[in-house]
Amino acid sequence: MNWPKHLKARIRLKEPLKKHTTFKIGGPAEFFIEPDDASALKLLLNTLKRDKIPFLLIGSGSNILANDKGVNAAVLRLGSPYFRRLCFKGIFAYAGAGATLNRVSNEAKRRGLSGAEFLAGIPGTIGGALAMNAGIPGYGIGDIADKVTVMDYNGKIKTLRKKEIKFAYRGSSLQGRIILGARLKLAKGSKKEIRDKIRGYIGHRRLTQDSGHYSAGCVFKNPQGNSAGRLIDLCGLKGKRIGGAEVSLKHANFIVNTGDARAKDVFALMESIKRGVKNKSGIILEPEIKIWK
C-alpha cells in the first residue's frame, strides 16, 4: 500500500479489533488509521478510494461486534486531539466527533449547563452517538444537537442545521457521512440539579446494567412500547451461555464476554435469543449493535 508521504495519520497494520471494542472481541483490521485532522481525513478518503479499499468507522467501539476473522478494510478512528476537541461558548458546546460523551456531560456540569446530563455513563463518542442517536428511552443526543458538521466520502465538508437532519430511535440520517463534530445547545441550569440528575442516571445504570463485564451495552433495540430486556428476561434466558458469551444475569439485553468469547458465540447467542422471544411473544428483535461480518 502506497500512502501519500504527506498524509498526517497514525496507521497500524493488522490491528486486532478486540483492542478497540468494549466487547473485547474481533480479529484484525487490515488497516487501523487515525487521521490528524480534517484535511488528513480528506486525503485518506481519496487514497482509499483510489486503491478501492473499503473503510469502516469506529468511535469508542462500544456498539460494535467485529467478527473473529477481522475485516478486510481500513478502520478509521477520529481519535486525534483535533477530533477530540471540546470547547464552550455561552450555552453552546462545540465537540469534535472523537470527544467522549462522559467528558461532554462533565464539562457541561462544571459550567452549570444543563441538557447533557443523560449522556453521563454512556460509553461512546459524539460522532458515534450522533450517527445512532444514542440516549435513554424517549431522549437522544439529537434533541440537543443544534448543528452537525459532516464530511461526505469525497471529502466535502458541510454543516447541517438541526432541521436538515432526521433523528429517530437509535438512528439518524447522518449515517453514510463522516461526522466531524457538532454544536450542542444546552441551557443555563443549577449546578446542584445537574449533578443530581447525573447521579440519578449513573445510579440507574449501576443498579440495572452489567458494568462488571466486557459487553457492547444493549444488544437489541427496544421494540416500540416494549423493552427488549424484559422480553428476553421473560423467556428465562438470563445466564444462557454459548462458548464464552452469556446473557447477563443483571440485564437480559446485555450479552457479556465472560473472558474468551468469540464473535461466533455472540452471533449464536443472539440468534437463540431472537428465536426464544419470537416463539414466546411473536416479536422479532432487531440488533442495536453494529455487526462487522
Applying CB under 6 A, which residues contact ligand EPU? 136-137, 204-205, 208, 217-218, 221-222, 227-230, 233, 251-253, 288
Task: Choose between 147 and 205: whose C-beta lies nearer to ligand EPU.
Answer: 205
State the Cα–Cα distance between residues 257 and 37, nearest whole angstrom. Answer: 34
Task: Choose between 159 and 208: whose C-beta lies nearer to ligand EPU.
Answer: 208
| Contacts of the segment 242-248: beta carbons below 8 A, 24+ positions apart | 242/268, 242/269, 242/272, 243/268, 245/269, 247/273, 248/210, 248/213, 248/215
Q: Minimal distance in Å, beta carbon 192 to ligand EPU? A: 22
Identify which of 64, 70, 83 has the alpha carbon closest to the alpha carbon of residue 13.
Answer: 70
Q: Minimal distance in Å, beta carbon 241 to ligand EPU? A: 16
Task: Choose between 176 and 236: whose C-beta lies nearer to ligand EPU.
Answer: 236
Partners of residue 256 on adjacent β-strands: 215, 246
Task: Choose between 137 and 225: whose C-beta lies nearer to ligand EPU.
Answer: 137
Helix (H, G, I), strand (E, B) or coil at 66: strand
Q: Minimal distance in Å, beta carbon 55 to ligand EPU? A: 24
Identify which of 28, 106, 105 has the alpha carbon closest to the alpha carbon of residue 69.
Answer: 28
Task: Choose between 34 and 117: whose C-beta lies nearer to ligand EPU.
Answer: 117
Q: Minimal distance in Å, beta carbon 23 to ligand EPU? A: 12
Give the number of residues written for the chain. Answer: 293
Q: 103 is written with which cell numbers?
A: 467528558
Question: What is the DSSP code (8-state) at residue 118?
Answer: G
Q: What are phi and psi of 292, to 5 degrees?
A: -100, 95
DSSP states of 139-184 as a string?
EEGGGTEEEEEEE-TTS-EEEEEGGG--EETTEETTTTSEEEEEEE
Helix (H, G, I), strand (E, B) or coil at 70: coil
Q: Minimal distance in Å, beta carbon 44 to ligand EPU? A: 29
Task: Choose between 98 and 229: whose C-beta lies nearer to ligand EPU.
Answer: 229
- Within 10 A of 117 (CB to CB), how many other CB atoms are there? 24
Task: Choose between 117 and 288: whose C-beta lies nearer to ligand EPU.
Answer: 288
